[in-house]
Amino acid sequence: WEVPAAVLPGIRFPLFWASFHILPLPIYMALCARVLQHDGLLCLYFHPWELSALPEREIPRWLTRRSQTERVHRMARLCRSLGRLGTFTPVGSYLGLGRQVTRP
């Protein structure tokens, strides 16, 4: 299965892990809310290493400009905000994996 990351309707701007780190958080959250309202679904991907201590020599500055604590708090704010708009569901559950799945 391939599950695409969310994109902004119309301009197809991707709401993936990098845009989360580049955009101001209120803008990213507003874009997520817009996609959720338009599509009824918001699929976001993040990497565990994004919330860990990152060695600056190996990671681009746009990602290391925030400390590990700041990145964790930022993710927590996003989760709280999105939790008020909908329900978190693992992709496998959404796809019906773990039980018999029929394709159209």
* Average pLDDT estimate for 79-92: 90
38 has pLDDT over 90:
yes
47 has pLDDT over 90:
no
Q: What residues does each domain of the chain span?
A: 17-95
Residue type, 91: V
**What pLDDT is stored for residue 73 in this prediction?**
93
**What pLDDT is stored for residue 23 in this prediction?**
94
CB distance 67 to 73 below 8 Å: no
Main-chain phi, psi angles of 7, to 5 degrees? -130, 150
pLDDT band for position 95 (cuts 50, 70, 90)? confident
Measure the CA–CA gap between 52 and 58, rounded to whole angstroms: 13
Which segments of the chain are extended strands (E)? none
Length of the chain measured in residues = 104
